[in-house]
Amino acid sequence: MSLRNPNALRPKRIAIVIANPAISTTTGWPVGFWWSELAHPWLAFHEAGFAMEIFSPAGGACEGDAFSDPRHASGYSADDIVSRGFIETPHLAALVAATKPVAAIALGDFDAILVAGGQAPMFTFEAATTLQDRFSAFLESGKVAAALCHGTAILCHARRSDGTPVARGRTVTGFANVEEDAADEAAWAMGALPRDRHVMPWRIEDRLRAQGANSIQAGPWRSFAVRDGNLVTGQQNFSGGETAAAIIAALGA
């Protein structure tokens, strides 16, 4: 066992879930997962000596949101060299092209589950009942359950075995209202949406509070993650590294 990788003999195992492609019901755009919310935690886990597998609710090929791709003509994520490195590493890109379905996640095989965001979770996770059940099972078993950015939509749908929302009574974060406001303003300024429509069909912060969660945030676009026991949440796409660090700490690694 090397000193650089103390987990080499018995690595912690992380199930990372990304969203399947979808079409936004509000904008009509194709939507998917957000690249940095996969790539940045992956790097942190890799450096900690963990083993990772990539899943999606339905399995199969997944697509990143266009603006999250460092190669996109907009240049929005051009400086994200971590995601670029992931995308341009063939054996890693192949994992995204052939994700396993979440039904294949066996609780006993993993130490933690991390649900990444992007726009697609807001349109697909309500129907992703197997993912909801797996997420709740990790929480109730005492294993680490984590979600990041719009991936925290899973908290709004998953239920404990007694039927109550999994986030009730917990301190959490997720994509904040102030960030939804900024996304709407950008879409309106681009002429992509009329001002009586919104990018997202509902808001995570509002729903979590309505369900009895203590939803907090650190201000727009600031890297921020919260750990409440074995539940870890990250605010938005800039919070991947901080979310991974909280998961690593929760696993005692």
199 domain-assigned: yes
Tokens 């083993």 belong to 51
> Does position 176 have pLDDT exceeding 70, yes or no?
yes
- Please tell me the predicted confidence (pLDDT) of residue 2: 44
Structure tokens belonging to residue 83 = 């995601």
Residue 113 lies in a domain: yes
The total of other beta-carbon atoms located within 10 Å of residue 6's CB is 13
Note whether residue 3 is domain-resident.
Answer: no
Domain count, the chain: 1
Is 5 a domain residue? no
1 in any annotated domain = no
Q: How would DSSP label each residue in 214-247? A: EE---STT---EEEETTEEEE-SGGGHHHHHHHH
> Which CATH number is 60's domain given?
3.40.50.880
Query: What would the pLDDT profile of 63-94 be if each residue is shown by its tens digit?
Result: 999 999 999 999 999 999 999 999 999 999 99
The verdict on residue 243 lying in a domain is yes
Residue 8 within a domain: no
> Does 4 fall in a domain?
no
Strand pairing category for 22-23 and 13-17: unpaired
Range of the domain at 136: 13-250
Render 68-85 in DSSP notation, one character per residue.
G-TTSTT-TTTT-HHHHH
Mean pLDDT, to the nearest integer, of 225-243? 98
Across the chain, mean pLDDT equals 95
Q: What are phi and psi of 110, to 5 degrees?
A: -130, 150
Total count of residues recorded for the chain: 253
> pLDDT of 7-65, one tens digit each?
667 899 999 999 999 999 999 999 999 999 999 999 999 999 999 999 999 999 999 99
